[in-house]
Every structure is written in structure tokens, then in C-alpha cells.
Structure 1
Amino acid sequence: MKKLMVVALAVGVLAAPALASIKDSKHDLSVHSTATIKSDYDELCIFCHTPHQASTTVSNAPLWNRNTDGGVSSFTTADLYDSQSLTPASKPDAAGLLDAIKNSDVPLCLSCHDGTGMASGIIHKGAEAAPPVFTGGDGPGNDQIGGRANLKDGGNVLKDDHPIGMVYDDVVTAKSDDFNAVVDGVIPGPGGRDLPLFGGRMWCASCHAVHGVPGVDSFLRASNEQSGLCLACHNK
């Protein structure tokens, strides 16, 4: 029992900075939040996580509490960003799409950022008896994310967002003069804040930290002052 208590305490200490950066951020949807969009729920973690009755189908997020994937399961490669400027290594392909559907964080992000209502996606409501009632959002229930944070704005899905799913080393090989190389499995970022890859592929979490980074805005992993985050990958 003593060992269990020590482990629990250690987990709590490690989790504390993440909690501090979520509180009052745009990802804090609790009633006490200072964010524009918030609900009548007292808890702030429950919109993504639950200690009980969590999803048994999501393996890449702890105790996941949402039951929608933002439509990712029906995506085709045509739903992803493409342009004539991309090399074949960067263009959306079947392998990258399959990884997006099965293994990546894209379904997690789009469970809220697909522009549809957030209230109905919660699996376990905890002490609450009813779905959350939102204020400050878009749509009839005030629980829709709008603006740039709505990644499916206008039905574009991810067509107008930064490419994802590519094997970054392949991109570097294809255009070695334009992209910086991986070092020890990560892309060195500004201020010593490295950008991770997942199975060698770039996903949302390569550039974004959903729990926030102290001193960095917009849930980025590192500051983009003077395009520092962009220049971590792009050698321009």
C-alpha cells in the first residue's frame, strides 16, 4: 500500500504543471473558466478524460472520455492537404491516411475541432446527470468551435491545414536543402523545446501540446516568434 501511495503522489506531482496550464486556457471548458466557451460543469478534465468508464477503443490517450472521432474513420486522401508544391514524400497517401485513422491523435483532436457539437461526445459524465450546457460557442447549443479552431470549416476537413501523416525522414531525403534533419528521433525546436514524431510520422502533437506549454501561446510546443516553430522543420 505504501508503494502505491508513493506512485500516486509521484503521478500527481508530474501532472500538476499540465493542470496549471490547462486551467483558464481555451481547453478549460468548466464553469469556473475565464475562457470564452465554457459549460456548467464544475470539472475541467472531464471533457477529455475520466477515471471510470473510459473508452476501451482508444489506446493512445489515457482514460479517454469521448466517443466521436470527428468523422476521421470515413476520410479519404482527398480530405487531406495537397498542392503542387509538395513532393511525393509529403503528399497524402494510403499508408499515412490509415495511420491517421488507426494510430494518430487526429481523431482525438477532431472529436471537438470538427465544428460539430461538443456536448454529446462525452462518454461518462461523472457526478453530472445531464450533458453540459455551453455558453460562448457557435451553433444552436453554443458548443461548436468556430473560427480557425474549426478544422472542418466550410467542409474542407483538413484540406486547408498543414500536411500531416508523412514520414518526416522521407521528406528530408526528398528535399534535404529545404528541411532540417531529425536528431535522436526528434526535430530540434526553438528554446530547446523539441518537436516529437510518432512512428517517424508528423501528427498534430508534433507542433501542438494539448495541455499547453508555460509561456507559449496557442497550445504550440514552442514559441513561433519570428517563425521559430516553422523554422524548426523548414530550412528557409
Structure 2
Amino acid sequence: MNKNIGAALILALGTFALGPVLAGNDRLTEFSNQGTIGNTRHNLTQRPTDGSTAINAGMMEAYRNDYQQVCVYCHTPHAANTNINAPLWNRTVRTTTYTLYTQQTLSQDATQPGPNSLTCLSCHDGQTAVDSIVNMPGSGGYNGALALNPSAGTMESLLDTWRLNGGDPAAVTHQGLNSDPNSETSCLGCHSPGKTSAATDFTVFALGTDLTNDHPVGVKLPAGSDWNVPSGTFQNIRFFDKDGDNRPDKNELRFYDSGDGFEVECASCHDPHGVPGTTSKFLPTFLRVTADGSQICLTCHVK
């Protein structure tokens, strides 16, 4: 069956089954964003864990392995990827040189992203399938040689060997956040304007390897009157200690030292597990500090 026809058929059946779920501005990818990471888009099983209606797990089955575990897409208790200094990291991380932000406003050249950016970029640079992990659930799901050293520019054939409960392979292709909506391996094949109307637009999340139009990473903690000074230091982190407890909390911006001094990384502003706001919901796009009134910007910048 043609892939696009198959996707349309799945969408049509899903629309018939879910009915009112698609009404108005609702999207199949919406989660409650409350309580745990399991209720956010970073739950790649696409099965909400808060008891709400299952949203689009069935529609995603052909495009990523549903390991039926939330944490496994990033972490593993055993046989972690030791090529990156990240906590029990379970994802493939490619060796890549990124094109960095360069403006005259920077007082020094930025360095290549450190571990606290590479973990995010292992999905968001679009080179790797979202389900590309080192140690899959169940017996016989580990293949370090292939998963840790993938061929550049390809999705990992190892993923095709995984079986759900011993049955047939769960996915026939493995999507990544690459920026080409016409690619057979791109999430944007559905999640972009003009594609599947029920799918949220993910275009802005497909960063690629050109980071020149994103907030710079790899830039050192600045000095001078234009910048606020972090008040806390903990191991390799300088952070804005809002509550004075001498530890970096989820809702506190921070700078990481990966060997080149304290620098901005993706995790300086984002916590992938979600940060509660003033309501019970997590802040949008996993921000540590709300963007309302530019609070997140003014944490560091004096303007």
C-alpha cells in the first residue's frame, strides 16, 4: 500500500473512531501537560498516562516503535551510551559539527554544543529517528555496535528488528524531526502545514544542524552591567538560586561547564521533563521560567 494512502486511511479511521476529539481546534497530539512527563509530547509512546482519552498512539504505530515505556526513549538502567556525559543515556548521538550563532553582539566565539544540548539535539537536529535507542525493552534488544555508531544520514535498521510482545515489527519506518516535510523519514510529513490537518505543526521544533537562527548555545557566562549574575554554584552548574536553597531546581535557569567554562546550553532554559507554572500545567515548550512579560529573558539580560 502506498504510504501516503495508508496514512490517510489510518487518519480517516481514527477520525471516525474518535469523533468529537477532533472538533474545533483540538489536535490528536494534545496532552494535559500536567503531573508527569508521561502527559507531555516527550512521552513518545503517545499514550497519555493521566487517565485521559488515548490520543494518537494507534496512528503513530507505523512510524515509531511503541516501546510502551516512557523513560526508555532517553534513559536505560543498564548498557547506557557512554559516548556522551548524560545520565544513563539510551539514545543514539551522532558526531556532528553544528553551524553556530555568530553575531557581533557576542564577545567571544561559541563552542560546539555540550552534553546538555546534545541530548536535546539527538532528536531535534533531525538526523536520528525519535525511537533510535541503544537498549530496547525485553530480551535481545541491545545492539551497542550498531546503535552507537550509526551510518551518517540514515535511520537505524536495528529498529526494524524489535518485536512488540514477540510479534511482528511494530513500525515499518522510523521518523525523525528533520526539516524536509517530503522526506519519508520526517515527522513533518504529517506535522507541518498542508499535511495532516489533525497533526500539530512541529516545524519550529525541527532545528537541524544549522543553529544560526536559534538562541546561541556554547556561549560563556557573560560579565558586565548588561547581565545578571547567577547566585548559586553546584558542581558544574552556575544557577539563579531563586529560593536560596543552594541547589539548582527545575525552575531556575543555569549555565553548564562541560570543559570550556560555564556556558549556555539547551537545558539552561528547558527542562525536558516539564516545569509546573503558576497553574497545574507545565510551562509551554518545557521552559524553566515563563516567557510572560519576558521573565525568562530578563533572568539573564538587563534591559
Contact 2:44/2:73 (8 A) holds in 1: yes
Compare 121-130 and 189-198 and name the one that shifted more. 189-198
- SS of the residue corresponding to residue 184 of structure 2 reads coil
The 3 A distance-change label for structure 1 pair 54 and 188 is: closer
State the number of aligned residues. 195
Look up the match of 1:207: 269
Q: Distance in 2 between matches of 1:28 and 1:217?
A: 15
Which of residues 157, 160, 164 is equivalent to 2:217? 164
Look up the match of 2:116: 105
Contact 2:84/2:115 (8 A) holds in 1: no
How far 1:56 moved relative to its partner? 2.3
- 2:120 is equivalent to residue 67 of structure 1: no
Look up the match of 1:180: 228
Cα RMSD for the two superposed structures: 3.2
The CA deviation string for residues 89-138 of structure 1, in whole angstroms up to 9 with x for no partner, is 3x42xxx23xx3xx432221111001234256211111372476368976
The CA deviation string for residues 173-193 of structure 1, in whole angstroms up to 9 with x for no partner, is 3xx2x2112223345387983
1:89-128 matched pairs, under 5 angstroms: 89=108, 91-92=109-110, 96-97=111-112, 100=113, 103-119=114-130, 121-127=132-138
- Unaligned 5+ segments in structure 2 are 1-33, 49-53, 142-161, 164-168, 192-201, 245-250, 278-282
The 3 A distance-change label for structure 1 pair 189 and 232 is: farther
Look up the match of 1:14: none
| TM-score where L is the length of structure 1 | 0.69
- Unaligned 5+ segments in structure 1 are 1-18
- 2:75 is equivalent to residue 49 of structure 1: yes
| TM-score where L is the length of structure 2 | 0.56
Look up the match of 1:194: 252
Q: Distance in 2 between matches of 1:136 and 1:117?
A: 6
